[in-house]
Amino acid sequence: MFESLGNKLQDILDRLGRESKLTEAQVKASMREIRMALLEADVNFNVAKDFVAKVSEKAVGQNVLGSLNAGQTVVKLVHDELVDTLGGKTAQPELKTQGNVWFMVGLQGAGKTTSTGKLAAHYKKKGRRVLLVAADTQRPAARDQLEVLGKQVGVPVLKVNDGETPAETKRRLDEYLKTDYRDLVIVDTAGRLQIDEALMDQLAALQTELHPTETLLVIDAMTGQEALNVAQTFDQRVQVSGLVITKMDGDARGGAALSARSVTGKPIYFAGTSEKMTGLDQFHPDRVAGRILG
């Protein structure tokens, strides 16, 4: 991912970096090239436009033109803007000493169940007592899949039964927690093929019962800008608190991942980097920017 964008940006910035003094025309031409490269990588139109506008504004504001090492300064401005676009500082989901309930939501196939297993492994390693709740009653094999993943990473799984109401799920969860203390409960909710009103109502009802402290939306980097439309719709209905972007190891052009923070206003907490249970990275904007710019 980001390969083609990275190569193009590196070319443009290499040329800029070699200039000791820059004319306004040179900066303008470079900004046009950067905007094109972003759009070709499937970055959201407004995000690409804002990106070059901000870099240009700063270049003018800092009197870069005509100054010594002007090219290097612009290169740094582009790098910093990339970090900002990706979210600035590293963001993490809120984790209290106890009573953490996280909902995993998203479209079917986005990698929700896989990411649920990965998060269980990640936080177990950090010393958390994790319980997984298999509440994806929509995709036939999802609950069994989570049970297998739970076994694999050594975390118990409570399975929601067919036709169970959210209130019953809440009662069964409370019962479970009485005998087996857990400080982080991660709920793999029903995935859907597309945004579906009835399923959204069901998800909202489960939220009302279980009071999640985080609602993590899992989006698939391979689906491009469509993933961000989906994100906005989910957020309107079930208030998303953060994002997990999966399949960052694939050959997606990267535009969705790059635009996700700006378009949704939600922090990216994690990136999925393989199908394995170890394939989950904390999302560090500065490292990702560094990777893109080589």
Question: Cβ(218)–Cβ(230) under 8 Å?
Answer: no
The two beta strands, 280-282 and 268-272, are antiparallel
Q: Is position 121 annotated in a ligand binding site? A: no
Q: Which of 160, 145, 156, 150 is nearest to 117 (CA)?
A: 150
Among 112, 122, 143, 159, binds ligand GDP (CB under 6 A): 112
Structure tokens at 98: 């106890």
Tell me the three state secondary structure of residue 181. coil
Identify residues 168-197 at the interface with ligand GDP (CB under 6 A): 191
Q: Is 294 annotated as a binding residue?
A: no
Q: Which region, judged by CB under 6 A, interacts with ligand GDP, from 5-13, 51-59, 102-110, 176-184?
A: 102-110
Cα separation, 167 vs 37, in Å, equals 50
105 lines the binding site for ligand GDP (CB under 6 A): no
The distance from CA 201 to its chain's CA centroid, rounded to whole angstroms, is 24
252 known member of a binding site:
no
Q: State which of positions 246-285 bind ligand GDP (CB under 6 A).
A: 246-247, 249-250, 272-275, 279
Residue whose Cβ sits closest to ligand GDP: 272
Residue closest to 31 by CA, chosen among 5, 64, 9, 2: 9
Q: Are 104 and 188 in contact (CB under 8 A)?
A: yes
Q: Which amino acid is at 146?
A: L
138 is in an annotated binding site: no
112 is in an annotated binding site: yes
Q: Which residues here bind ligand GDP, judged by CB under 6 A?
A: 106, 108-114, 139, 142, 191, 246-247, 249-250, 272-275, 279
**Binding positions:** 106-113, 188-192, 246-249
**Binding positions for GTP:** 106-113, 188-192, 246-249
